[in-house]
Chains A and B, each alone.
Chain A
Amino acid sequence: MSFRPPQRQRRRAFRSPPGATLILPAAVLALSFASPAAAQDNVSKAEVEAKLHYCEVCHGVSAQGFHGYYPIPRLAGQPTEYLKNQLQAFVERRRTSNIMFNVGHVLSPAMINALTTDFNQLNPKPVGGAPKENIDEGKNIFENGVAQANVPPCASCHGPQGKGNGPFPRLAGQLYDYISNKLTNWDKERGQNPSQPDTSAVMQPIAHSLTQPQIKAVAAYLSYLE
């Protein structure tokens, strides 16, 4: 009802006019194209730009996440390694989502490099909207864990600011209902291909050990974290 369209962040890597700001991204691009795999799999700026717009139709302006029919996760600021892993997981049916299977299976390695680099660089404000009454409890679980239930501090892998690292996803600013749903349905959505076990197994016992109120509290805390 109270719709506030967020301002799209400037895409330094792909939108700036030629000039000083382009030098660094150009160098990064040059490096990534220099690798043998990417050399035969080129992708134009225009193609990347069009694909980014396509992603943001569902994932929200500046990839901050969006409430469609489903909660559609924030991709902004996400580590590139995690994003690449997940796209691969959709394609290999280790992570089940029909829509994301279709999205993922047409992406070339060069396109995946470009998209994940772009999303990683974005830093819009969190969407917000979660209940605020259990944020303190959520912060406590995130930072200290729940020792008596064998739940380690989330911060030990996801980082003290929830920014993630490598294969560990950023959780800061992630949608409240997205986090709740993932933690609640972990075994139904992740690690779905028994012949290809993956890193989702790391999170499995933790998701199980958290109670519903604990999940909601952590999700609420993270959803406001910038």
Chain B
Amino acid sequence: MRADKTTQARFAWPANPKLKDAGSRLALAAGVLAVVCVGAVSAQHQISLSGDLQGKISYCKDCHGVSAQGYNGYYPIPRLAGQQPEYLQNQLRAFIEHRRTNNIMFNVAHSLSPAVLSALAAHFASLHPPPIGGAPHQLVATGRRIFEDGMPEVNIAACAACHGPDATGSGQIPRLAGQLYPYMIKTLGNWDKERGRNPTVPDAATIMSPVAHSLNKSQIEAVAAFVSTLR
């Protein structure tokens, strides 16, 4: 795994032992933190929040990769870096409410306080490591065509309309740029088995359901290969 050292240093916390040699960058980081922490929150709360947060960030990165660039564990574990904070918060809530089924992520998410949850989302949104790569190159051109133009003759919408021309997402719509090839394939292939699982709490997952259905396996692989290469 390749860490994005610059970004790590900028957003890691002073207690992080990896940062002993970070020098003036650390001073800047401390300054930024000080500003962030000034607010209505009490001094005592600041300390516990930053402590919790530091611990949580390391914990998330155990599975999601050193710079949250994603990691191929037993499952493909998605990239969180650069992800839209609103999307990240929505998904953490979806795990908690069993709208998105994943036992591991339910356990992870249900212990997060609202303050830590939004701080984590902001942290991951600010990271920009390069994509992991590894997708078959020969699929990229087809994937790009589907992503940018869709396939109107067979009613496949252009991904770019909602996910943006650079696949960076917007608000509740996730960034796909740099997402793991196998994660994209698994998620699009199993949409209805993983998303929108609580009929009493319908959510934005319903928007993607018909799109996931309209794509066949080779189209999914092509789109997955394309987005996995985007920075």
Which A residues fall within an 8 A CB radius of B? 1, 3, 5, 50-51, 53-54, 57-58, 66-70, 72, 98-99, 102-103, 105-106
The answer to whether B149 touches A3, judged by C-beta atoms less than 8 angstroms apart, is no
A57 contact set on B, CB distance < 8 A: 157, 207, 210-211
Please give, as numbers and ranges, the residues of chain B lying within 8 Å of A99 by CB-CB distance: 149-150, 158, 160-161
B170 near A: Cβ within 8 Å?
yes
Residues of B at the A interface (CB closer than 8 Å) are 86, 89-90, 148-150, 152-153, 155-158, 160-165, 169-173, 202-204, 206-207, 210-211, 214
Closest Cβ of chain A to B222, distance in Å, is 17
Minimum CB distance partner of B87 in chain A:
A1
Given A3-B204, A98-B149, A103-B150, residue A68 in contact with residue B155 (CB < 8 A): no
Please tell me if the beta carbons of A58 and B155 are within 8 angstroms of each other in the complex: no
Measured CB to CB, the nearest residue on chain A to B153 is A106
Tell me whether A3 and B90 are in contact in the complex, defined as CB-CB below 8 angstroms, given that A69-B165, A69-B170 are known contacts. yes
| B149 in contact with A72 (CB, 8 Å) | no
**Chain B nearest CB: distance from A24 CB in Å?**
27
Task: Chain B residues near A67: list those with CB within 8 A.
Answer: 170-171
Whether the Cβ atoms of B203 and A3 lie closer than 8 Å is yes
Q: Given the complex, which residues of A lie within 8 Å of B156, measured CB to CB?
A: 54
B150, A69: Cβ atoms closer than 8 Å: no
- Determine if A51 and B155 form an interchain contact, defined as CB atoms under 8 angstroms apart: yes
For B148, the closest partner residue in chain A by CB is: A98
Given A1-B89, A68-B163, A102-B150; 15 other pairs, CB 8 A cutoff = A1-B86, A3-B203, A53-B155, A54-B157, A57-B157, A57-B211, A68-B161, A68-B162, A69-B164, A69-B170, A70-B161, A98-B148, A102-B149, A106-B152, A106-B153
